[in-house]
Structure 1
Amino acid sequence: MGPVQQTWKETHQLIELRKVPLTNTDVAAGVASGRLLRLTAEVAVPRAYFTGLPPWGKAEARAAAVGLTADKAVVCGMAAGRLWGLSLLGVEKTVDLLLPGRSRPPSKRLWISGSTYRSAALPEAQITTQGGIRVTTLLRTLTDICRYEDRDEAVVAVDSARRTWPTFTAEKFHERLEHMGSFPGIESFRETVAMSREMIGSPWETKARLLLLRCGDAAIVSVETQVKFHDPVTEKIYYVDILINGWLVLEIDGKSKYLGVYGDDPGTVIRDEREREKALQNLGSVVLRVGKKDVEEPAAGYCAMVQLVLRGLQNFPAPVSLPRVA
């Protein structure tokens, strides 16, 4: 995913019911028959289209629908992150909204269907438009995600922003924070930025890295991301998702990559991954491959990914040297 190129209304085939002429009986009939699904009281979507969307696609459509319905409120938090084109870890159940200035949220009975109003100041300078929807600015969106969601979700969001906009470095984050002044959670956000990394390929790479870093097992000495290797025979350069202890390669298979979610052809992604894995093994590295379910945290103990890494460190000998690029 990347910066939005068209309106979210167009992307998700949304219909603003209040703007439909009274002479258009097809829309009214579609709503009555169930062919059109109301996402809010004022916005509908073709049911067949919406039903076929993946969970994150449904979340995008809901965020856009609530944004189109809101007269004054601004989409914020994770929903705004989606409308900015960020890749996120979880799927929010409701769309977060903020009122401009220091306005207080309305009574819950007046809330837009599927929304949650947050209570916080929102200066006009932190409001923009993305894909035709009023949203918080990118930095405000990220700070709100850090404020309202858990640390892993916040780091994922910042990682995604740094991948989408490579010039948005950690230094740039801190520079822009100075212009925002003090706000609740600013120190937590600084820590989140410090934990983020550039060019992370997916939310599950971020999750895997964070799980390894807080594992606490003495066998895990170092965790590096997007490490570059040079094949002296073919002269090709390969990047690995995660490198543990300088030699154990961990590759994260996310279903999203194979559906073209990040803008790459799925067939090309699969071929490139297989070529890279074979090349890395030929260079002497040990490659472990895990999926999304392997990084899901159990109620107790280590997740499957951490267990696999610990077994790999114990059972495989470290190579004498690897042709990595410093």
Structure 2
Amino acid sequence: MENWPQTFGLIELRKKTQADHDFWHNKEACRLLTPEVVIPDEIYDSLEEWKRRVAMAAAVGLTVDTAIIAGRAAARLWDINVLSDDPTVELLHTDGKQAGARSTWPPGVHHRRNHLSSDDVVTIHGLRVTSIPRTLRDIAAWHGVLDGLVSIDNTRKKWEGTTQEYLSGKLLSGAQFAGKARVREAIALSISNSASPLESKARYLILKSDLTGIETLEPQGEIIVSPVEEYYVDFLINDWIAVEMDGYFKLDGTSFGKTDEMLRKERAREVAIQNTGRRFIRAGWEHLRPGWDGRIPLLTLIDDALRTHPVPVLG
């Protein structure tokens, strides 16, 4: 885990004495994250939204005396992808301890009532967080299969050895708990080569759809164009429909090079794949949200391809 308090320059007010004249003189140049932790405006203003949520989780972690950072906030601190943008920091307590009345909770903090063993707590850089297995379990149990799948997919991609068997042993063993069936399903649907939350959500929607005609769904499917030219697409359906999921960052002009150059490369790649006789579908986040008729555009595109074109024999 990265040393987030240091990375963000977080300052604990309760550790500042009156003798620290420089800090108190320049306090107005800092933003209050919690009643006890501030961050320099210069750093905060430079952060992307997702990093601001990480900073908030770290700030809360520095202020709680008995609680443990859990759920999505813990995943953010572990640098594990989460699906939701909800910045709420979820907290748990060990050994039967409970939080005070809800009216005493600070804004943006939610205490949950679940059993948590001290064996599932890790302390790093002054932050107490749930272990990675417990974090994954809680996300799926509390927020559903899809949320759990996104985080489990990312964990499996980041850390070798986090197989379905390993995760089942870590996340499902022991006493019964609410949401266990959701955790089991998220593990069963997970893979180790999903490149992003966008791909994980798209795959989930395809797998859970009632589309007819899907015989195979290959993530990171290989398409051989020539003996010296091959491409990988996010999904290859029936070895014929190539699906590419494009996130917002892909054409931001920095992540993959200049935008115009990226567009030319993407177009050349798309044409090369189409020239093999395959159908090419390009989609983004907007294609995963239900339309006015309740239908999901990505599934409509795939359904149309399956219905209007017989699957050719390629080779």
Q: TM-score, normalised by structure 2?
A: 0.88
In structure 2, relative to structure 1, the CA distance for the partners of 1:116 and 1:29 (3 Å cut) is farther
Equivalent of residue 68 in structure 2, options 74, 77, 92: 74
Q: Distance in 2 between matches of 1:258 and 1:66?
A: 34
- Partner in structure 1 of residue 80 of structure 2: 86
Corresponding residue pairs, total: 312
What percentage of aligned pairs have identical amino acids?
34
**Quick one: distance in 1 between partners of 2:250 and 2:118?**
36
Gaps of 5+ in 2: none
User: How has the CA–CA distance of structure 1 residues 216 and 21 changed in structure 2, closer, same or farther, with 3 Å as cutoff?
Assistant: same
Cα RMSD, aligned residues only: 2.7
Corresponding residue SS for 2:257: helix
| Shift of residue 206, structure 1, vs aligned partner | 1.1
Q: Does 1:56 align with 2:50?
A: yes
The two structures have a TM-score, normalised by structure 1, of: 0.85
The question of whether the paired residues in 2 share the 8 Å contact of 1:8 and 1:133 is answered with no
Q: 2:17 aligns with which of 18, 21, 27?
A: 21
1:156 to 143, 150, 154: 150
CA contact (8 A) 1:12 1:45 kept: yes
State the match for 2:247 in structure 1: 254
Task: Kindly indicate whether the alpha-carbon contact (under 8 Å) linking 2:216 and 2:239 is maintained by their aligned counterparts in 1.
Answer: yes
Residue 219 of structure 1, CA deviation = 4.3
CA deviation map 1:197-224 (0-9, x unaligned): 2210110111111222223132444433
Distance 1:65 1:178, change over 3 A: same
Structure 1: stretches of 5+ with no match in the other structure? none
1:153-178 CA distance string (max 9 Å, x none):
11111111111113101011122246
1:14-43 CA-partner distances (Å, limit 9, x unpaired)? 222222332223433444x3x311110111
- Supply the AA of the counterpart residue of 2:301: L
Q: Which amino acid aligns with 1:194?
A: A
Greater relative contact order: 1 or 2 (C-alpha under 8 angstroms, separation 6 or more)?
1
Cα distance in 1 for residues equivalent to 2:142 and 2:111: 12
Q: How does 1:137-148 map to 2 (within 5 A)?
A: 137-148=131-142
The answer for the alignment partner of 2:108 in structure 1 is 114
Cα pair distance change 1:70/1:299, threshold 3 Å: farther
Q: Give 1:199's match in structure 2, choosing from 193, 196, 213.
A: 193
In the TM superposition, what is the alpha-carbon distance from 1:61 to its structure 2 partner? 1.0
Contact 1:40 1:114 (8 Å CA) reproduced: no
| Range with bigger deviation, 14-23 or 216-225 | 216-225
Equivalent residue, structure 2, for 1:174? 168
Q: Using the alignment, how far apart are the partners of 1:220 and 1:58 within structure 2?
A: 40
